[in-house]
Amino acid sequence: MPLAHAWQTRWAWGTIAGMTTENTPQTPQTDDDAQDAAAQPTAFTLLGGEDRVRELVDRFYDLMDLESEFAGIRSLHPESLGDSRDKLFWFLCGWLGGPNHYIERFGHPMLRARHLPFPIATSERDQWLRCMAWAMQDIGVEASLQERLMQAFHGTADWMRNRAG
């Protein structure tokens, strides 16, 4: 497994599985820990693979376009959401433990640096999280997986905040 893929899988799934509450990669302490982590299904697999990740991303951006409560985060995006849809899909595939489409195209995600030009405060973080929760519910993501994903999304979304409030 390439190093970048191992890091992404361990970070995302470790957080989702509750192995850590930090936004940092978890390094297995022993070879047995590493084997146990490798034997667990990834969130990507549990969600249903690329088709389901695409469905989730499409519903997320559809809701952002349709629902006025997400106007704040919608205003941070370009008029056309096509590129945003693709980038989130590519990123989530790898972050959830699947193919690293984003890294293959753009290198390390550097999420915080890529989001610094956009004013993101608590309001925008919470809109993003509500939109994602609604999208997961709409496409029928299993409740316990939704909960684990939302915990991981919260940590990442909170890390994107770059403005007070």
Closest CA to 159 of 117, 127, 104, 113: 113
The pTM score is 0.80
Inter-residue contact 82 to 58 (CB < 8 Å): no
Q: What's the pLDDT score for residue 40?
A: 86
CA dihedral angle for residue 26, residue 27, residue 30, residue 36, rounded to 10 degrees: 50
Q: Is residue 5 part of a domain?
A: no
Tell me the CATH number at 59.
Answer: 1.10.490.10
- Count of the separate structural domains present in the chain: 1
**What value does the mean pLDDT take over residues 15-21?**
42
What are 45-72's pLDDT values in tens digits? Answer: 999 999 999 999 999 999 999 999 999 9
Q: Is residue 38 part of a domain?
A: no
- CA 29-102-119 angle, to 5 degrees, is 95
| Residue 25 clears pLDDT 80, i.e. is over it | no
Q: Is residue 22 part of a domain?
A: no
Q: What's the pLDDT score for residue 35?
A: 60
Kindly indicate the confidence band of residue 6, based on its pLDDT and cuts at 50, 70 and 90.
very low
Q: Is residue 77 part of a domain?
A: yes
Supply the range of the domain harboring residue 50. 43-160
DSSP 43-90: HHHHHTSHHHHHHHHHHHHHHHHH-GGGHHHHTTS-S--HHHHHHHHH
Q: Is residue 147 part of a domain?
A: yes
